[in-house]
Amino acid sequence: METVFWIFLPGFAAVAAGVLAWFVMQSRMEVALAGLREELAESRGALHAEKAALEGSLETALHAAEESARRQAFDKFLTELRVEQRHYTRENRMLTPARKSLVLQERMFFRNIPLSDWIEHEIPLDDAADVNRLVRDMTIFDHAVVSIADLPRSKKALA
């Protein structure tokens, strides 16, 4: 029996050493796999964060582009608005002495389409009144508001 023991003892030791080596190698492989999983998780997290940042900046860029396009379209629309103006003098000869008045008529156009009917102002005139100055100063539509192109540079910067 002792001979059988000495024959199987080295075989048993070899199997035990092999099993022990297998467990050690298995644990080393699990540690290496855990390290790789950690690197993969970090890479995925960084990729996800970069993708979220890119989507956020893309949304911001799209919003800015839409705002710019709207503003340009609105500015173009405002530059195509214009005011047509005409004036004449009227004398009222009723029972009282003759009264002179300046009749100022204006209407607003978009390209060649009238947006409003003639709007009329009647301004009483005295003998020393300057008709051209009154026509220039008395307007229903503010020309600086109607045409963006005519705005002074300081107002354009603020708008």
Q: Residue 91 corresponds to which tokens in the numbers above?
A: 């004398």
pLDDT of residue 20: 96
| Close Cβ partners of 37 (under 8 Å, ≥ 6 residues apart) | none
Residue whose structure tokens are 């009282």: 96
pLDDT of residue 38: 96
146-159 burial code (b ≥16 CB/10 A, e <16) = bbbeebeeeeeeee
DSSP state of 149: G
What are the structural domain ranges in the chain? Answer: 1-79, 83-158
| CB-based contact 129:100 (threshold 8 Å) | no
Tens digits of pLDDT across the chain (159 residues):
888 888 899 999 999 999 999 999 999 999 999 999 999 999 999 999 998 888 888 888 889 999 999 999 999 988 888 888 888 888 877 766 777 888 888 898 888 888 888 888 888 877 666 677 777 666 666 554 444 444 454 444 444
* pTM, full prediction: 0.42
* Residues 83 and 138 sit within 8 Å (Cβ to Cβ): no
